[in-house]
Chains A and B, each alone.
Chain A
Amino acid sequence: MDKRILFGGIAILVLIGLVAIFSTSNVGDRDLSANRMHGSISTTMGSSILGNPDAPITIIEFGDYQCHQCYNWFHNTKPAIFQNYVDTGKANFIFVDLAFLGSDSPKAAQASYCAEDQGKYWEYHDVLYVSQESQIDNGWASSERLKAFAFNLGLDMDLFNECLDSEKYSKRVQYNISEAKKHEVNGTPGFFIIGPDGQEQQIKGAQPYSVFKQIMDSMI
């Protein structure tokens, strides 16, 4: 009788352990055990790598789709960085969400991953930063508008709507936010430039191209 209770207890503990492992290691449909690291930063739950995956430098941006400084950086600094570093294979780029500014911010981040399911993450990302309006939570990134952006990109709307409405990527976005906080990113946009030897340089705010150039040139 005692043995039965003992084995029963062990079986229940094993079951609980398996459930716990399963629930924490799967965020959306991404597996945390396949951890992608850049320097000390886990980018597993962030975007896919844009540009040459073997580039000596990786630029990680922590951003919010409702942040107007991210908008400024996207329009004023990013094009020059892409032209001179990403497009030439010297650097690659990863976007990680720090969606904190308003209630529509996490939803917009989730929507970008729903677009990723259909192979259009970067197109959707760009649409969000092009369509951003100056006011936070004024409806420009409401569920209806996020669906309209997806429609305009020609995504399968049944898949997209189901993904967005079910909050499939809620945990993925939360994971990215906690990763940002772990690395003391306390505002958006926040950047880490990871060099060939794993050296990290943090850049806080929407700084001009000259700053990025100086850091990246010193790393190559």
Chain B
Amino acid sequence: MTATLKTVFSNFRYVVLAVVIFISMLFGLLLLSEYVFLEPYVVSHIPDGTEFGFLLIVILSILSSLVIPMNVYRISILKSSKKKMSGGIFGSFIGAAAGACSCGPVGFAIISTFGTVGATASSFVTNFEIPIRIAAIGLLVIVYYTTVRSLKIECRVNHKV
């Protein structure tokens, strides 16, 4: 597993990609979930009782920053299929969406635009925010292991060829 990670991240471009994904995802999710505020001052805090939600955001961002560059590597270097890549992006997306709808501006815009349907959808995503994030993490873990396994096999085959 370490060897596979070394193979991918020995290329500096993939390290940069991972850092960019991690920072943008972490910052975006912390902003949406109101752990970070930009106005009127830049400030961050973790209110009591929301520590677990914060931890899930960090895990989600780390996994996304590993899985997506590894799959980009598979596709661009090894010319593999894009199936696992879409799994990684889907996992990241649903993890992000779980925190987006709520009492904040995104939820307000959805409810204002779509009325009752928007309110129902927003309520669902808000009510199941933690389970959805855990499911997204589960999906990313599966994609991570299958990607590592397939990278091992594909790299070996490519080496032989």
Residues of A within 8 A of B (CB): 64, 67-70, 72, 75-76, 100-103, 134-138, 186-189, 201-208, 210-211, 214-215
Smallest CB gap from A181: residue in B: B112
- The listed residue (B37, B41, B48, B50) touching A205 by CB distance below 8 A is B37
Please tell me if B34 contacts chain A, counting CB pairs below 8 Å.
yes
Counting from the closest, the 3 A-B pairs by CB-CB distance are A67-B103, A136-B123, A208-B45
Task: Judge whether B105 and A186 touch: CB under 8 Å.
Answer: yes
Give every chain A residue within 8 A of B41 (Cβ-Cβ).
211, 214
Give every chain B residue within 8 A of A187 (Cβ-Cβ).
103-105, 107-108
- The listed residue (A102, A135, A208) touching B119 by CB distance below 8 A is A102
Which of B39, B47, B105, B111 is the most central at the interface, judged by chain A CB atoms within 10 Å of its CB? Answer: B47
Task: Judge whether A136 and B37 touch: CB under 8 Å.
Answer: no
Q: How far is the CA of A206 from the CA of B112 in the complex (A)?
A: 21
Please tell me if B150 contacts chain A, counting CB pairs below 8 Å.
no
Given A187-B108, A205-B104, also A134-B34 (CB < 8 A): no
Interface size on B, residues (CB 8 A): 25
Please tell me if B71 contacts chain A, counting CB pairs below 8 Å.
no
30 A-B contacts, Cβ less than 8 Å apart?
A: A67-B102, A67-B103, A68-B102, A68-B126, A69-B34, A70-B103, A72-B50, A75-B47, A75-B49, A100-B111, A100-B112, A101-B122, A101-B123, A102-B119, A136-B127, A186-B108, A186-B109, A187-B104, A188-B103, A189-B103, A201-B40, A203-B40, A205-B34, A206-B34, A207-B43, A208-B43, A208-B45, A208-B47, A210-B43, A211-B40
Smallest CB gap from A75: residue in B: B48
Interface residues of B in 110-161 (CB under 8 A from A): 111-112, 119, 122-123, 126-127
Give every chain A residue within 8 A of B103 (Cβ-Cβ).
64, 67-70, 101, 187-189
- The listed residue (A72, A103, A138, A188) touching B127 by CB distance below 8 A is A138
Residues of B within 8 A of A (CB): 34, 37, 39-41, 43, 45, 47-50, 102-105, 107-109, 111-112, 119, 122-123, 126-127
Which of A70, A100, A214 is the most central at the interface, judged by chain B CB atoms within 10 Å of its CB? Answer: A100
Which of B34, B39, B49, B105 is the most central at the interface, judged by chain A CB atoms within 10 Å of its CB? Answer: B34
Smallest CB gap from B124: residue in A: A136
How many whole Å from B23's CB to the nearest CB in chain A? 21
Give every chain A residue within 8 A of B123 (Cβ-Cβ).
101-102, 135-137
How many whole Å from A45's CB to the nearest CB in chain B? 20
Given A72-B49, A136-B127, also A207-B37 (CB < 8 A): yes
Smallest CB gap from B50: residue in A: A72
How many whole Å from B133's CB to the nearest CB in chain A? 14
Task: Judge whether A101 and B111 touch: CB under 8 Å.
Answer: yes
Q: How far is the CA of A135 from the CA of B131 in the complex (A)?
A: 13
Task: Judge whether B40 and A136 touch: CB under 8 Å.
Answer: no
Q: How far is the CA of A214 from the CA of B39 in the complex (A)?
A: 13
Q: How far is the CA of A137 from the CA of B124 in the complex (A)?
A: 10
How many whole Å from B120's CB to the nearest CB in chain A? 9
Give every chain A residue within 8 A of B126 (Cβ-Cβ).
68, 101, 136
Give every chain A residue within 8 A of B104 (Cβ-Cβ).
69, 187, 205
Give every chain B residue within 8 A of A186 (Cβ-Cβ).
105, 108-109
Give every chain A residue within 8 A of B119 (Cβ-Cβ).
100-103
Q: A100-B111, A101-B107, A101-B126 are in contact. List 16 more A-B contacts (CB 8 A).
A: A67-B102, A68-B126, A69-B104, A76-B47, A76-B48, A186-B105, A186-B108, A188-B108, A204-B39, A205-B37, A207-B43, A207-B45, A211-B40, A211-B41, A214-B41, A215-B40
